[in-house]
A and B are shown apart, each in its own frame.
Chain A
Amino acid sequence: MSAQKKRELQVAALENGTAIDHIPPDQLFKVAHLLELEKMNNTITIGNNFYSKKMGRKGVIKIADKFFEEDEINRIALIAPNVILNEIRDFEVIGKYPVTLPDELVGIVKCNNKKCITNNEPMRTRFDVIDKEKGTIRCRYCERKINKEDIVIK
């Protein structure tokens, strides 16, 4: 059996649904959490540390019969910006999409300003994405700017 074939067999094929590919291995479970996979009843395959030509190792998530809305999936762009989304219908990949940061992040990021109201009230955080390329965001409330490397997911 060819190495290629062996690799393909490691993951069950998907008839209909979404395959999220090229997830950095250390972010895989964060991605699963952000997508709230634990709340879904769909059949889900999660695999990690697969061989990847592009990135060495990668994580993969396959979710049967689930097609994400754009703002639903874009939340993962924060921690896994190079992820590719494969939309699969009838065993065929009918679309491949990169994820992009949305304009607004609601309830995902924790503000790292201790004196921000969001860290002291039972409320959702809101961040405006002010630089999509650099991944810079700004808290809607305390107006503190946070660079990508300092972003803390709730």
Chain B
Amino acid sequence: MKSKSLVSIDQCSKEDILRILENAAKFEANPNRTLLEGRVAATLFFEPSTRTRLSFETAVNRLGGRVVGFQDPSTTSSSKGETLKDTILMVSNYVDLIIMRHHLEGAARYASEVTDVPIINAGDGANQHPSQTLLDIYSIQKTQGKLTDLTITLVGDLKYGRTVHSLIVGMSHFNPTFHFVAPEELRMPEEQKNICDKLNIPYTEHTDFTEDIINKTDILYMTRVQRERFTDLEEYERVKNIYILKNSMLDNSKENLRILHPLPRVNEIAYDVDDNPKAYFIQQARNGLFTREAIICEVLGINKLI
């Protein structure tokens, strides 16, 4: 990677992504390795996120490192008005690695500029969450046996969904075909479509979520359609049930189809889908552990995995 911090998926080349995935597979085979013995990582969660924090902290622990940090900024000096810069510089005195989540966008990039300690961005507002993208790509590779030439259907809130925007960037190296399924108000922004256009990545936009589309799909990536995103509540009432995946919609889907979701889900995947072997969202979260072990080693420059 160009920087030793992981702030955004854009900074990862195809080779970077493949190397991280290869190492994630090694960690899946054996998650417990003493690569971080004697090292300390800080998890600074200026905004709570239990799932991401536990996943990162488990990764550090399974690598033999120790963790310090906070999960509730109201108990830290940032609540007294300390700047992010001062907090980061203070913590940099103590640790070898900082894993941070912040509600402000760009916080991780700024942190990476003020310290020499590697930063892993565990989410900065609606902006970036690169470890989520890498675990998504790892899950795609693991379930499909490859990354190239896949048909990927993104469903739900494509306007504000940072996971889908980053997934487009991350998968853009692997010749995908995209279907974007979203209500009119939450369509994929021009910026992401421009990325596809520039790279000659084919995509089709749909406002109806139909079996026809599902049956062509290798990876069905569901996201939440949130009520608060709508300016027109009538529109929300109209679409809220259209973008729900039900088990019956999978009857004629491809054998290799897998359903991903960044979680938490609310009602966009009916519970009768859970027992379908094509449902993969729970295992997907488990892959986060291995991917994060690989990311931690990557930013710390640990190349030899013992």
- Residues of A89-119 at the interface with B, using a CB-CB cut-off of 8 Å, are 113, 115-118
Q: Contacts A115-B125, A143-B127 given: A121-B85 contact, CB under 8 Å?
A: yes
Q: Nearest chain A CB to B199's CB is how many angstroms away?
A: 16
Q: Is B271 in contact with chain A by the CB < 8 A criterion?
A: no
B83 pairs with A141, CB closer than 8 A: no
Q: Is B233 in contact with chain A by the CB < 8 A criterion?
A: no
Q: Contacts A143-B106, A144-B105 given: A117-B191 contact, CB under 8 Å?
A: no
B109 pairs with A115, CB closer than 8 A: no
B107 pairs with A117, CB closer than 8 A: yes
B85 pairs with A116, CB closer than 8 A: no
Q: Is A140 in contact with chain B by the CB < 8 A criterion?
A: yes
Residues of A within 8 A of B128 (CB): 143
Q: Nearest chain B CB to A66's CB is how many angstroms away?
A: 32
Q: Is A142 in contact with chain B by the CB < 8 A criterion?
A: yes
Assembly CA distance A141 to B83 (angstroms): 16
Assembly CA distance A5 to B194 (angstroms): 53
Residues of B within 8 A of A121 (CB): 83-85, 110
A145 pairs with B191, CB closer than 8 A: yes
Q: Contacts A113-B105, A116-B104 given: A143-B110 contact, CB under 8 Å?
A: no
The listed residue with most A CB atoms (<10 A of its CB), out of B102, B106, B124, is B106
B85 pairs with A143, CB closer than 8 A: no
Assembly CA distance A138 to B81 (angstroms): 28
Q: Nearest chain A CB to B207's CB is how many angstroms away?
A: 25
Assembly CA distance A89 to B62 (angstroms): 70
